[in-house]
Structure 1
Amino acid sequence: MSLFDIFKKNNPVSYQEIITQYQEFFEANKSLPLGYYGLIPYGEDTKSPFHVAPYDRALPVDFPFEAAFVWDELNDEQLIEEKMGVVQCGSIPIAREGCGIYWILITTGKHAGEVWLVTESGLTPIQEKMDLQTWKENQLKSNNTFWYPAVANWGPIQNAFFLTHAAKQMAAREVEVFGVSSSMCQSCLDYLSKCAVKYQKEYFVTDPEGTRIFGTDGNIETIGHDQSL
C-alpha cells in the first residue's frame, strides 16, 4: 500500500477540505504557468463547459470514473452526452490548456485529491495518484507538455486527438484568415507558427483570447478584442 493510500485510509478528507486545499494552492501558485492559460480560481463564475450544475449539487456526488474513458470512440450520442455530463460530479476545473482541454481536481470518491485531464474527446489520469504538487512539478518540468503521450493513441491514427483541433484543420485547408470558438491550445499555436515560417505566409486567427497574427519569422502577436487591427 502506497503512502498516498495509507494517508487516505487513515485521514479521510471531505470534498470541502479538498476545495480549501485547492484555494490555498491557487493563492500560492497563481502566478506560475500551470496550464497554458493558467490556474482557474475556485468559484461559480469560473466553470468549464463540463461543469454546469451548481457546485452544491455536483460536488458531493462521487466522481463516477475509475479509469481513462474516451467517449469519442462511442457510437451512441446519448451515451456520449451522459458521460460528458457526469464529469462535473465530484470534480472542479483547475486549469485550462485551450481547445476544450481542462485539468480537473477530483473531490470525491476513490480518486479524491487526484488531478486528471478532461477534453472534448475523453478524460484520463496522466499519472497514477497524481496530486496537486506532483502535477505542478510535472507541468513546470515539461513546459506543460508532459500529458501529450497520454492522448497520443486516441483515435484511428497516432496523434489524431491533436489533428482534429479546428485551427489545425483550417490551416491544412490552406485557410489563412479564420476564427475558432475555443481558445487555441499550445499545440495549435506551435503548429500554426511553424506553418507560417515554412510556407512564408501570415495567418490571422481569432479566438476568445483575441486575434493572433502568426508571422513568417515565427513570432506570434496577439491583439485583444478591445483593440483593432
Structure 2
Amino acid sequence: MNSQSRFADRGEAFRSELDALRAAFPPEHCLPPLGWNAVRDFEREHGIVLPEPYRTLVAEICDGCPEGPADVDGLIPLAALPADWGCAQTQRVLAEPFPLTETWVWEDDTRPYEEIEPLIDEVSNHGSVVLGTDGCGMYWHLVVTGADRGRIWNISDVGAAPFGAAFGHRTEGEGFAGWVAHWAAARRSWFDMVV
C-alpha cells in the first residue's frame, strides 16, 4: 500500500505537508528512511506513537538529514542524540509526559537550584525526541507525549520555549511541518525567529 492510499483519510493538508517534507529533504542529501516496521518497533520499545508528519517522514522519506533544520548536525536520526548532548547522565523516558506547556527560563527562576534541577532534567529527558542541535547547549525537541504533543520546543542551558506563531515566532505553522517550513523557506539561522 502506498502512502497516498494509506493516508487518503487524512486529506489534502496532510498530503501537502508530506510533499513539502519530500521537497525539503531530497534523498540525495539524506539518510534512508527507516521503514514502517522499524518505526513501529521504536514506538513499541518506548511506549509512544510518534506525531505526524514526523512519523511518516522517518518511515518513508528520511531518517535524518545533515543539511536539515538544526545548524550543527541537521536533522539527526530518530534514535540518535547530538554529539554534544549534555544530559547523558539521565535516561531519556519518552513515554513520560513532557512537563511544560509554556516557556520556562530556569535561569531566572528564584527557587534554589537543587529544587529545580530535577524539573530541568524532566524537561530535557521526558516525552520528546531530539531533532538536532544549534550548538552551545541548544536542542530542538519534538514532543511525543503530554499536553504539547506534536509541538517543537527549543531547550537550552537557560530555559525552554515552544516554537510557532502562537508563541511570537515569525512562522505560521506549529509542529514539525511548520518548523521545517520555516527553515526551508529561508535556510536561515533560528536566532532571527523571534519577533
Q: TM-score, normalised by structure 1?
A: 0.51
Between structures 1 and 2, the one with greater strand share: 1
Counterpart of 1:101 in structure 2 is 138
Q: How many angstroms does 1:43 deviate by?
A: 1.9
- Take 2:61 and 2:82, find their aligned partners in 1: how far apart are those partners? 13
Counterpart of 2:119 in structure 1 is 83
Percent of pairs with identical residues: 20
Post-superposition, which runs of at least 4 consecutive aligned residues in structure 1 deviate over 6 A? none
Q: Compared with structure 1, are the counterparts of its residues 137 and 20 closer, same or farther at alpha carbon in structure 2 (3 Å cutoff)?
A: closer
CA contact (8 A) 1:105 1:115 kept: yes
Q: TM-score, normalised by structure 2?
A: 0.59
- Take 1:116 and 1:136, find their aligned partners in 2: how far apart are those partners? 13
Corresponding letter in the other structure for 1:124: A
Counterpart of 2:181 in structure 1 is 137
Q: Which moved more, 1:121-130 or 1:137-146?
A: 137-146
- Confirm or deny that 1:73 pairs with 2:117: no
Deviations 1:125-173 (A, max 9, x none): 12147211110111122434345454x9xxxxxxxxxxxxxxxxxxxxx
Q: How many angstroms does 1:72 deviate by?
A: 0.4
Deviations 1:36-76 (A, max 9, x none): 11112122665732465444xx1111111010000000232
Counterpart of 2:158 in structure 1 is 121
Q: How does 1:1-229 map to 2 (within 5 A)?
A: 15-18=48-51, 20-21=55-56, 23-24=58-59, 27=62, 30-37=65-72, 38-43=74-79, 46=82, 48-50=85-87, 52-55=89-92, 58-75=93-110, 76-87=112-123, 88-127=125-164, 128=166, 130-148=174-192, 150=194
Counterpart of 2:20 in structure 1 is none
- Take 2:138 and 2:81, find their aligned partners in 1: how far apart are those partners? 18
CA contact (8 A) 1:126 1:147 kept: no
- Take 1:123 and 1:117, find their aligned partners in 2: how far apart are those partners? 6
CA contact (8 A) 1:63 1:108 kept: yes
- Take 1:22 and 1:110, find their aligned partners in 2: how far apart are those partners? 22
Q: Compared with structure 1, are the counterparts of its residues 23 and 98 closer, same or farther at alpha carbon in structure 2 (3 Å cutoff)?
A: same
**Bigger Rg over Cα:** 1
Q: Which runs of 5+ in 2 are unaligned?
A: 1-13, 15-42, 167-172
Q: Which runs of 5+ in 1 are unaligned?
A: 1-6, 8-12, 153-229
- Take 2:82 and 2:133, find their aligned partners in 1: how far apart are those partners? 11
Task: Determine which structure has greater relative contact order: mean sequence separation of CA pairs < 8 Å that are 6+ residues apart, divided by chain length.
Answer: 2
Q: Compared with structure 1, are the counterparts of its residues 20 and 90 closer, same or farther at alpha carbon in structure 2 (3 Å cutoff)?
A: same
